[in-house]
Amino acid sequence: MNPILRYLKNVFAAKRVLGENLELMGLVKADSLLQEMYAKNKFPGLAITVLKEGETIFQKGFGYADTEQKQFIDPRKSIFRIASVSKPIAATALAHMLQDGLIDINESFYTYVPDFPKKRWDFTIRQLASHTAGIRAYKGKEYGLNEPYSIKDSLTVFKNDPLLFEPGKGYLYNSFDWVMISAAMQEASGIPFEEYVQEKVLNPLGMINTCIPKCHPEGSRRYDGTKVKEITEIKATKNVATFYTKCLAGFRKAIPVDNFYKLAGGGYLSTSKDIAKFGQAYLEKRIEVKAEFLDQFLTSQEVNGKPTYYGLGWQVSEDTKGRKFYGHVGNGVGGYSNFFVYPEEQLVFSILINCTDPKIQPELDAVITCFFNDVDA
């Protein structure tokens, strides 16, 4: 072990070695907190990547990708379910489609999917993207569906349910909104959703380890466009983490699920390195979408004159210190994720865990806070 790290087991030794280097002290504190969390069995495995001004300042794996095989986490290669961090990826694809004139987010959803059952009120793509359309959330075991639905076929799960409120008059976060958007995107473009995302987002940004679950393409489409990376191709490399759920005895393997139908809302898989790369592309303005379109996605919507702290597929808010950020938290079967971009501080955080909500968000917030020590000084 590095002699400096041995010193850092003692707070006074840390101060003696590091002096007034607050940034390094922050890194050491973050590492210590994560080590402590793992030692207390808070998660089976965790990958974290932190970028500052485009440089990787902290990237590390804690625990195991597979607890039985004792396969360690590698933040560059270990593949996790990223859950709702999929929404910003889908939102980026939607922004491209908006710029290309293929879809109008202020247009009715029925313009693109006319056979969806009519509701009491009409609603727009924008209202779906901002969770203000009145679509319900999961019921019962829908959270863990294991059916080989195509995107459009999955609409049968909730298509006959009424809207919970008049669109634009309320806010209810859910993933079905983005399932509906992905269906509309396919109809508007004539291109399978996963192909469009691969071509417009993943390939240009070099997100080579971001993939989809096993594909269930629409029966009416020929799947012969842009090559889409599926999890089945990556499993051979043994980089796909095993997915767990917390239980009294520790962790057990999560129930099997088929997340293809909800790719846009929570179905993608990725590495912490890839997700951080995605955030950095936003900071460096490398998303090839004009600001007039992209800014709409990163602006909090309002309901009854009050902000929802949610844009279009992005959480847009401030932390407890008043620092502005955009990103997303994700929770799904066998996966939990934090993805935050702080534009003023030029910081990007990507944290992925191979476990259904481990109930450690306050601890993760404390880890993230460590990286602001030098900024606040």
- The tens digit of pLDDT for each residue in 241-283 reads 999 999 998 999 999 999 999 999 999 999 999 999 999 999 9
| Residue 143 pLDDT | 86
- Residue 57 pLDDT more than 50? yes
52 and 21 both lie in a single domain: no
Residue 16: inside a domain? yes
36 within some domain: no
Count of C-beta atoms within a 10 Å radius of residue 24:
18
Instruction: Specify whether 15 is located in the same domain as 137.
Output: no
Q: What angle do CA 298, 206, 225 make, to 5 degrees?
A: 95
pLDDT of residue 295: 97
Q: Could you tell me the CATH number of the domain that includes residue 110? A: 3.40.710.10
Answer yes or no: is 35 within a domain: no
Domain count, the chain: 2
Co-location of 148 and 13 in the same domain: no
Same domain, 299 and 361: yes
Question: Rounded to an integer, what distance in angstroms lies between the CA atom of residue 175 and that of residue 329?
Answer: 13
In a domain, 236, yes or no: yes
Q: Is 33 inside any structural domain?
A: no
SS3 64: strand
Name, in order, each residue with C-beta under 8 angstroms of 152's C-beta and a sequence gap of 6 or more. 113, 183, 186, 218
Report the pLDDT value the prediction gives residue 225, as an integer from 0 to 100.
64
Specify whether 144 is located in the same domain as 16.
no
* 114, 254: one domain: yes
> Phi, psi (5° rounding) for residue 212?
-110, 160
| 97 and 11 share one domain | no
Query: Which of 357, 310, 371, 313 minimizes the C-alpha distance to 55?
Result: 371
Contact 43, 37 (CB under 8 A): yes
104 domain residue, yes or no: yes
Pull the structure tokens for residue 100: 């290309």
306 and 210 in a single domain? The answer is yes
Neighbouring C-beta atoms of residue 64, cutoff 10 Å: 23
Same domain, 23 and 105: no
DSSP helix/strand/coil, 66: strand
Is there a single domain that holds both residue 55 and residue 202? yes
- Local structure of residue 374 (DSSP, 8 states): H
Q: Which domain holds residue 132?
A: 41-376
Structural Rg of the chain based on CA atoms? 21
Q: Token pair of 370, please? A: 């460590």
Same domain, residue pair 186 and 311: yes
* Cα 231 from Cα 154, distance rounded (Å): 20
CA distance 127 to 125: 5
pLDDT at 183: 98
Residue 307 included in any domain: yes
Residues 18 and 81 in one domain: no
**What backbone phi and psi angles, to 5 degrees, belong to 133?**
-90, -15
Placement of tokens 């799904």 in the chain: 332
The CA–CA distances, whole Å, from 37 to 34, 287, 290 equal 5, 35, 42
pLDDT at residue number 236? 56
- Please state the rounded mean pLDDT for residues 47-68: 97
Question: Which pLDDT score is estimated for 234?
Answer: 64
**Is residue 14, in this structure, part of any structural domain at all?**
yes
> What sign has the CA pseudo-torsion 276, 279, 285, 287?
positive
- The pTM assigned to this predicted structure is 0.92
